[in-house]
Copies of this chain bind each other. A is one copy, B any other.
Amino acid sequence: MAKPRHSRLDCNPGCAVEATLRLIDGKWKGVILFHLLDGTARFNAIRRRIPGVTPRMLTNQLRELEQDGLILRQVYAEVPPRVEYSLTERGRSLAPVLEALRSWGDANLALFGAAPPPPAVAAA
User: In chain A, residues 75-124, which have Cβ atoms closer than 8 Å to a Cβ of chain B?
Assistant: 75-77, 88-90, 93-94, 96-98, 100-109, 111-114, 116-118, 120, 123-124
What is the copy number of this chain in the assembly?
A: 2
A77 CB to nearest B CB, Å: 7
A86 CB to nearest B CB, Å: 10
Assembled-state Cα–Cα distance A11/B120 (Å): 29
Chain B residues with CB under 8 A of A108: 20, 90, 93
Chain A, interface residues (CB within 8 Å), range? 35 or more
Assembled-state Cα–Cα distance A94/B90 (Å): 23
B97 lies within 8 A of A20 (CB): no
B52 lies within 8 A of A102 (CB): no
Assembled-state Cα–Cα distance A101/B1 (Å): 23
A117 lies within 8 A of B69 (CB): yes
A116 lies within 8 A of B15 (CB): no
A116 CB to nearest B CB, Å: 4
A67 lies within 8 A of B116 (CB): yes
A4 lies within 8 A of B113 (CB): yes
A58 touches B (CB below 8 Å): no
Give me the 7 closest cross-chain CB pairs, A-B, nearest first: A69-B117, A16-B105, A14-B34, A69-B116, A14-B31, A20-B105, A17-B30
